[in-house]
Amino acid sequence: MKVLLLLSTIACLLVKAQGKTFSRCELLLMLQHSGLEGFEGYSLADWVCLAYFASGFNTAKVTQNSDGSSEYGIFQINSRLWCSDQHSTTKDLCDIACSDLLTDEIVDDIDCIKKAVVDSEGLDAWMGWRDHCRGRNLNYWINACN
C-alpha cells in the first residue's frame, strides 16, 4: 500500500513538472493579473506575442544554445544570466533554478522576465519578439479574449 501511495505521489509531481501549454486567452488573463500591462512600456499583446514566438506558450520548452547556455520556459529565459541550471556558467540574477521555469506555475517566470526586461535591452533581447512582434499591429494576440 505504501508503494502505491509513493508511486501516485511521484506521478503527480511528474505531471506538474512536465509543464503546460497555455491557450492565448488563458495566458493573457494570467499576464494581466500579474501586472504586465504597460510594464516597461509593453502592452499585454507584446507579452503574449513574445510567449508565442519564444515557446508556443509551452512552459516546458528548453532550447540548447551553441554557447553552452539554455533557454527555459514560456519566455525562454537564458541560463547564462537569469537562472541556474548546473550546465552553464551563470549570474543567476533571478535567483532561481532554471527547472523552476518549466512548470505550469508561471509566477516565477513572470517575476524573472520583469527583472530581465528592466536590466537588459527590454524585449529586444528576445529575437522572436524583435522579428515577429516589434512595431507590428498586435491586436490579434488580445482580440476575442474577454
Provide the CATH number for the domain around residue 98. Answer: 1.10.530.10
Question: What pLDDT was estimated at residue 77?
Answer: 97
Question: What pLDDT was estimated at residue 120?
Answer: 80
Scanning the structure block, which residue is given the C-alpha cell 513538472? Answer: 17
What is the span of the domain harbouring residue 99?
Answer: 19-141
pTM (2 d.p.): 0.86
> How many domains would you assign to the chain?
1
- 34 φ/ψ sector (left φ>0, alpha ψ -120 to 50, else beta): alpha
| 146, part of any domain | no
Question: What pLDDT was estimated at residue 11?
Answer: 42
| 110, part of any domain | yes
| 101, part of any domain | yes
| Cβ atoms within 10 Å, residue 55 | 24
| 74, part of any domain | yes
Question: What pLDDT was estimated at residue 17?
Answer: 54
Q: Which residues lie closer than 8 Å to 46 by C-beta, 6 or more apart?
A: 123, 129, 133, 138
| 135, part of any domain | yes
| 3, part of any domain | no
Strand 70-72 relative to strand 62-64: parallel, antiparallel, unpaired?
Answer: antiparallel
Question: What pLDDT was estimated at residue 9?
Answer: 37
Question: What pLDDT was estimated at residue 86?
Answer: 84
Q: Which residues lie closer than 8 Å to 95 by C-beta, 6 or more apart?
A: none
Question: What pLDDT was estimated at residue 93?
Answer: 95
Low-confidence ranges of the chain (pLDDT < 50): 1-16
| 95, part of any domain | yes
Angle at 136 between CA 131 and CA 142, to 5 degrees: 110
